[in-house]
Structure 1
Amino acid sequence: MDFEIRDERKPQGPRRLVAERAAYFQLMEQGYSTREAARIIGINLRTGKKWRNGHHSPGKGKKPVPSIYPVPGQQSEEAVDRREPASRASRYLREEERIHIADRVREKASVRQIAAELGRSPSTVSREIRRNRRPMPKGGFAYQPFHAHRRAERRRGRPKVGKIGQCSELRDFIQDHLTMRWSPEQICQALRTRFPDRPEMHVVHETIYQALYVQGRGELRRELTRALRTGRAMRRPRRHADRRINRPVKNMVMISERPAEASDRAVPGHWEGDLIIGRNGKSAIGTLVERSTRYLMLVHLPDGHTAYATRNALASTVQALPHHLWRSLTWDQGSEMAAHRSFTVATDIPVYFCDPASPWQRGSNENTNGLLRQYFPKGTDLTTHAPEHLAAVAAELNSRPRKTLGWETPAERLAKLLATAS
């Protein structure tokens, strides 16, 4: 400040306090409160408030005085009217814009009018007033621009350490279960179940995805993305899948004729089936998923996936469970089920076929096939996997908690069914 502060703070009469006013606003820019700035300059608190807020009720016969802000380097009585704010340089509100909002709020202007004057969205102005207003001692709220600006600046402190990075126990738990190929949503539910009274151990699945994918966070090891179902190192938008070629099978019974009890999943014993294909279409593994329990069985196909090889392998696999748990089988229109009638004669299990290009009619099976691709990647030879390995993979998937089962596992649901039947 290029002037000497008055030691004797007496009323100055009609004297124009140009230098004091410039120093007052300089202190306000530095974050001083109205009261502290007025004390340093040596002016009355009411004078400082008039300089900052304007004087809208000066008395009879006098014009209102808007709030003023001295032009930098100008030592005169001229001031800038805050109703013409400078153009904005960022998506965050600047201090002069908050001053403009405060002026117009006192003048009872609408939020949309203020937003139009600032070139902002009405929701931005409304949210700013609601978040940063200040409770008054006598009740009610007031929007004070300098107080609002300080609050906004404090909230914008970056960068912040994420929740996973703050807690080593949480990070280790997540990394261990990602290694076991659990999905982020399954991990989040397991955290809430295991640590019900520790909110610092609770996260949502999006937090885990961001810890893996967002650059600069480094809260989880990058290589753990390979343990996710997609195995992608980067996120990418979804795209439409290629439509399958329709290869009709003779004498098909369509899914529209399947019993209604299979649709609502209330009665166990209705299964969905498909193949996952290996390199060059020369190898395959059969997948069977029970609609009610989501229990998985894998079918070993050492002799290929022709119609008769598939029929024989399926007929052998279904003998592993009691007959009352095999009420129907739903398949797509793949040529591997061309011998479906002889399969039904041998096992007494009716086979129903989905409509063309309608994978959602076998949703549980399609979802499970996606999970299995973590174990059997596309473009690999599937004949190298022995029946023991297929059984181990199925057991691992059947021991995962499922959201659709109330976070029970398929193995637990099937055990309940078997116990009830016995």
Structure 2
Amino acid sequence: MSETLRVGIAGVGTVGAAVARLLARQSEALASRTGRKIIVTAFSARDPGKERDADLSGCQFFTDPSALAASPAIDLFVELIGGAEGPARASVETALTHGKSVVTANKALLAAHGVELAALAEQKHAALAFEASVAGGIPIVKTLREGLAGNSIRRVYGILNGTCNYILSRMEREGLSFEQCLSEAQKLGYAEADPTFDIGGFDTAHKLSILASLAFGVKIEPDAIDIEGIERVTLADIEAAAELGFRIKLLGVAQRTADGVEQRVHPTMVRKSTPIAEVMGVLNAVTIDADAVNELTLVGPGAGGDATASAVVADIADIARGVRSAPFGVPAEGLLELVRAPMRRHEGGYYIRLSVPDVPGAFAGIATRMAERGISLESIMQHGGKRGAGREDGAPVGVILITHATSEHLVREALEAIHRDGAVKTPAQVIRIERE
């Protein structure tokens, strides 16, 4: 082991600059903790002349991140470019092929190629570390892989996207529409100009696939996740949840079942008294349900330069100490093929909002279709004003159904039948309820 660990950073944007600053600021402490001096010796970026909030004046510059990855000027390669393909993938593969350890925050790359990259790292006796890829500054990867190694994990779930949590929090606190909150998130830099990846649930799904691999020892399969975003959540849903004692959160949930591993991303009603319901704004939270510790919840900043840099530097420090963990907790060849379990019987039931014509027999027809499929209704309530008050005859009214425990496919079948009957004209809003 050399006396100095020489680091090369590919991508010196918000996170890359924060990593360089943190390594410089904590230089003495890191040397004391790891037994080695850690310095940034080289970096790559598209624009060498761009003003950056970090002192890289003594570093060698590369326009090509793969050239940086292969350079003898570095011992460790930090990939902060982003994206599942292109320069990010090529440079990480180059670094590992040359036997250099890699630290990355790139969840898209790991979701698409994590198993192959882990196998390459193991073959070359290099480390592949990715704490920053999920939940920013929360040390969830190390917790699952090392801290809970003696546990059998039943379920892992949480708030994994700060943009969605910010939007839902502001809708509740300020009574703003989804569109207003999304616009504010874009102005503040929490959401991209095209926010689909965040609000559509895809970012959460990538992170969830990584957590599922760590928790259950299976290969990453992001395409095996049922995904719903928050685009259709309205103020009416937020208000109804509050009346029922719940908050709406976008959750990623992975759990072991008798049929395999179930993975889902969707808006969820969680009781206000639970720890995860208290997580507001851009914060993230992850709850682990395991046999020895029962439930463990970690909360912290899920994004941002400093929070992400904290996770990156933690990985760098591990590598400086000589830590070489199997990236996903077991050797890549030992990861099991994922058996996708169908959406199970949902023990918390469902919230269903319908727009129903105010005509005799409409409610009875809906209840009949539910009963035909064995769906027991806990309650039926009118929402948003009294039936018939100030409305034209037959004008639609908002109706909210709360079901007891039932299965996803039965709910969908009942709603399809209700639509075929002509009892409702617009798509139903369906949100799962978590009772825990």
Q: Identify the structure with bigger relative contact order (alpha carbons < 8 Å, sequence gap 6+).
A: 2
- The structure that has the greater radius of gyration is 1
**TM-score in terms of structure 1 length:** 0.22
**TM-score in terms of structure 2 length:** 0.22
Q: Which has the higher helix share?
A: 1
